[in-house]
Structure 1
Amino acid sequence: MFSILTILGAICIIWWLAILSISLIGHFEIMNNFNSIKRKPENVKLDAEGLVMDDDLLLEGVTILRPIKGIDPDLEKCLESCLLQNYPSNKFQVIFCVEDPNDPSIPIVLKLLKKHQGTKDCQLLIESANFGPNPKVNNLAKGYKAAKFDIIWVLDSNVWVNPGTLVRSVISLRQSLDNGKKTTDRPVKLVHHVPIAVNEPGSNATMGAKLDEMFLLTSHAKFYVFFNKASIDSCVNGKSNLYRRSSLDECVNKISQGQLSVTSQDNSSDAREFIGPGEGLRFFSRYIGEDNMIGIGLWRLGGRQGMTGDVAVQPMNNNKGADDSSVNLYQLSVSDYVKRRVRWLRVRKYMVLAATLVEPTTESIVIGLMGCSGLCQIVLNSFDFFWWLFALHECVWCYIDFSQFTAVVNFANVDELAFKSNNDSSQNQIGLNKHIQFWSEWLPIWLLRELLALPIWIIAMCGGTIDWRNKPFKINSDLSAVPL
């Protein structure tokens, strides 16, 4: 008869192998498909200057929405990166959305509008609204309604993207591709890009900013990519999402008719005022995590998410005056980093409870302790080599994270669809290629992030209030947010 310790040891080994497999699948997906050469679509034709040729059968119109509030690091470069997309200029428009007519970002936007006047279809919309507690949706709603194309690309103001991102995204949406491969289970209804943060050389990054960068480039990236590939359920971060407005409006229309829901307690009457053309986005202003809820809605409409091998790069220069939801992100202390991670873990706790509960076991230390305990209990029948096994586990995990970190940073600044003869494209580059010393710089930050993972999770699980944009909120059972 098996003892309880034997059963627990077997469970630990099985779960350890499962997490290792998930981690490695996500890692190799990144290493193989985020390489710049492999991101070039085979059916895209370029002219003599390297510009994508207009092909009505391949490409269609896109409206790019950029919600802006305050001054972010490298804001001008980030905003201009969408204007410099290698895409037929008559087939995309850019709408910059601002709420406050006194917002300090407006002069930067006006400078870009003047620079690209006559060559790009771009405009600035200034209008405040209050459809719900989510300020991003309130800001975006006017641009969503004014969009002249069905495909919408919501791109946060503080992220930079490569010139070929739009081409790859539209092809992925139209042909149902995920990292260049045809999906067979569901059609792609939302294309998203892996969010990363990068401390540029000479930015004097704080430890909190370095921890944020480490988290996004290692643990978050590989698990985010894996769950997209596995397509078990919706898994979307809102930094850079592309989908059809008609699909989202259809989703809200079905919610209003009681034919579809994004939560177990959706009230169809709540959606009825948002079912007109161009109104669908407003419904999601009730949620803090509108990106996840939109992804769930399109998933339950019968679609899935797809990637393109692209990343949404958030520069993290240590600029004074940078604006974020609650603190100056680019001068983050370790305490600020912990608070940010706690906030979003609490949001996820309400949205995907099961996944949040097991999250500590996806981190190297906890799963390493579990796996090594199981191996010593079941396989070796002795704990004499426990710490040797644990050290080996950590070394392998660390090497995987380091190789992935380096590869993503190196790939992110290179694009086969970058202009060959346009100087604006090269001048708009973000300084990503860093030369770091593994033992003296990278390793201590990696170790600190791993050590903080479990305490952050415990703090998040022990509370329910969410501090968001300097205001406390609670999450209702229907996942809507209510200010306290």
Structure 2
Amino acid sequence: MTPMIYTLYGFAIFFFVFWCGIWILHLVAILYGKYKLHNKVSLIPGDVPYPGVSIIKPLMGVDPNLFSNLETFFTMSYPKYELLFCIEDDTDPAIMLVNSLMEKYPSIDTRLFLGGSDVGVNPKINNMNKAYEAAAYDFILVSDSGIRMKEDTLLDMMNCMKENVALVHQMPFTCDREGFAATLEKIYFGTALARNYLFADFLCINCHTGMSTLLRKSVLDEVGGMKAFGCYLAEDFFLAKTFLDKGWKIRISSQPAMQNCGVCEVNNFQARLTRWAKLRVAMLPLIILLEPLSECMVIGASAAWAAGFLFQWDSLAFYLVHVLVWFICDWILLSIVQNGLLPFNKFDFVIGWLFRECSGPYLFLHALFDPAIKWRTRVYKLSWGGVAQEVKPRIKF
């Protein structure tokens, strides 16, 4: 055989083996999701005191769901916690909203921090640092503004905080909302993200996202506190990496983080996906090769060619069966993550799923060729390793 034939055989074997690995990933995510998610929350034994929790909520601006989202933190059944709201701009309308909630629930220990700090390029860290340093308890829950809590969510997270665990995080998901953008978000977070998230947690790989994170303040203080991560935009990844490097475990809660932002648009959602892809590429350059291949349409076409080349199978039939089975597995996984009836019918799922799967590779390529990261009104440039530098001047929208 010629060198070209050997090369083609090499590529074909690689694609087929990678395709088999992806199906193992599917199976593990479905089984582990069924085992891990939505477990019954048990109370802490009566002779054990409830540890106090300081909940840090960084806010910027107001959306239609913000009041109801924040109110869920005032009505949790956990007996010992404080709420620390952080608002960088003293003219932000979110201040009035927080004050109204403080008046409505005077029994909840609540403080408002204005002005932020200047400890790095990460605006979220800058906004939260004052509250972090003033926190009264050793357990810190960092929760984004769009998160909606159930009454027992904090208890569920604390139940996961064992003696050898320093960080508990929630897998991102979404509340039921109307519209195609909401359907698209739920499909992405319940399939593509959930699949990788659950598989990574099963293998104890760092998959942490910072939307809703419970951590030990004493451990974080040992490495310089929250401000030590102000040089990163993906502070959540590097924070979890630091904990793992120090020998601590990280775990996911059985309840997903329920995102409920009042502004739900396709363009905004795709911009988030592109920004996250840029962060992943800067932190883990191997992603440049592996992530596109993990997409249904890309790996399906590659494996279909490989099956035809190696085994003389019908490539078209192979590809169609691959897409159909992937679709069914995603429906099963989404149903597990949802833990109930989905808010859309199967036709809506087909349209949303096809749109997500076909646009995924394009968004990743867009992230590669436009590495600048736009975050609200600011633009950042990432170096290899994830260290961020803000680009001047700031853009205005």
Distance across 1 between alignment mates of 2:72 and 2:222: 31
Distance across 2 between alignment mates of 1:68 and 1:371: 46
Aligned residue number for residue 143 of structure 2: 155
Distance across 1 between alignment mates of 2:215 and 2:106: 27
Note the alpha carbon deviations across 1:266-323, whole angstroms, 9 max, x for none.
xxxxxxxxxxxxxx11121111111111111111111231012111111244xxxxxx
Question: Aligned letter for 1:300?
Answer: D
Aligned residue number for residue 394 of structure 2: none
Matches for 1:216-227 after TM superposition, within 5 Å = 216-227=189-200
**Which structure 2 segments of 5+ residues have no match?**
392-397
Are the counterparts in 1 of residues 116 and 128 from structure 2 also a CA contact under 8 Å? no
Classify 1:62/1:330 alpha carbon distance in 2 versus 1 (closer, same or farther; 3 Å). same
Aligned residue number for residue 375 of structure 1: 307
SS of the aligned residue for 2:91 comes to coil
Are the counterparts in 1 of residues 66 and 261 from structure 2 also a CA contact under 8 Å? no
Note the alpha carbon deviations across 1:390-414, whole angstroms, 9 max, x for none.
1111111111212222332345xxx
Aligned residue number for residue 276 of structure 1: none
Are the counterparts in 2 of residues 133 and 482 from structure 1 also a CA contact under 8 Å? yes
Classify 1:212/1:470 alpha carbon distance in 2 versus 1 (closer, same or farther; 3 Å). farther
* Residue 473 of structure 1: how far off its partner (Å): 1.4
SS of the aligned residue for 2:127 comes to helix
Aligned residue number for residue 419 of structure 1: none
Equivalent in 299, 303, 310 of residue 244 of structure 2: 299
SS of the aligned residue for 2:161 comes to helix
Equivalent in 229, 239, 243 of residue 211 of structure 2: 239
Comparing 25-34 with 62-71, greater Cα deviation is found at 25-34
Equivalent in 445, 451, 454 of residue 358 of structure 2: 451
Equivalent in 349, 370, 380 of residue 281 of structure 2: 349
Aligned residue number for residue 270 of structure 1: none
Matched, 1:214 2:187: yes
Note the alpha carbon deviations across 1:209-233, whole angstroms, 9 max, x for none.
443332112100121121112113x
* Residue 478 of structure 1: how far off its partner (Å): 5.2
SS of the aligned residue for 1:174 comes to coil
Matched, 1:190 2:167: yes
Matched, 1:61 2:52: yes
Aligned residue number for residue 425 of structure 1: none
SS of the aligned residue for 1:473 comes to strand
Matched, 1:309 2:254: yes
* Residue 356 of structure 1: how far off its partner (Å): 4.2
Matched, 1:331 2:239: no
**Which structure 1 segments of 5+ residues have no match?**
46-52, 176-186, 253-279, 318-328, 412-432
Distance across 1 between alignment mates of 2:141 and 2:95: 21
SS of the aligned residue for 1:394 comes to helix
Question: Aligned letter for 1:70?
Answer: G
Distance across 1 between alignment mates of 2:184 and 2:342: 16
Distance across 2 between alignment mates of 1:353 and 1:478: 9
Distance across 2 between alignment mates of 1:349 and 1:483: 18
Classify 1:3/1:435 alpha carbon distance in 2 versus 1 (closer, same or farther; 3 Å). same
Distance across 2 between alignment mates of 1:94 and 1:356: 40
* Residue 360 of structure 1: how far off its partner (Å): 1.1
Q: Normalised by the size of structure 1, how large is the TM-score?
A: 0.75
Note the alpha carbon deviations across 1:178-222, whole angstroms, 9 max, x for none.
xxxxxxxxx32210001113451xx4x3x4444333211210012
Aligned residue number for residue 133 of structure 1: 121
Give aligned-pair identity as a percent: 27
Question: Aligned letter for 1:39?
Answer: K
Distance across 1 between alignment mates of 2:309 and 2:266: 42
Matched, 1:17 2:20: yes
* Residue 449 of structure 1: how far off its partner (Å): 0.7
SS of the aligned residue for 2:186 comes to helix
Q: Normalised by the size of structure 2, how large is the TM-score?
A: 0.91
Instruction: Give the CA RMSD over aligned residues.
Output: 2.1
SS of the aligned residue for 1:400 comes to helix
Aligned residue number for residue 157 of structure 2: 169
Equivalent in 8, 20, 30 of residue 11 of structure 2: 8
Classify 1:54/1:442 alpha carbon distance in 2 versus 1 (closer, same or farther; 3 Å). farther
Aligned residue number for residue 438 of structure 1: 346
SS of the aligned residue for 1:173 comes to coil
* Residue correspondences, number: 388
* Residue 450 of structure 1: how far off its partner (Å): 0.3
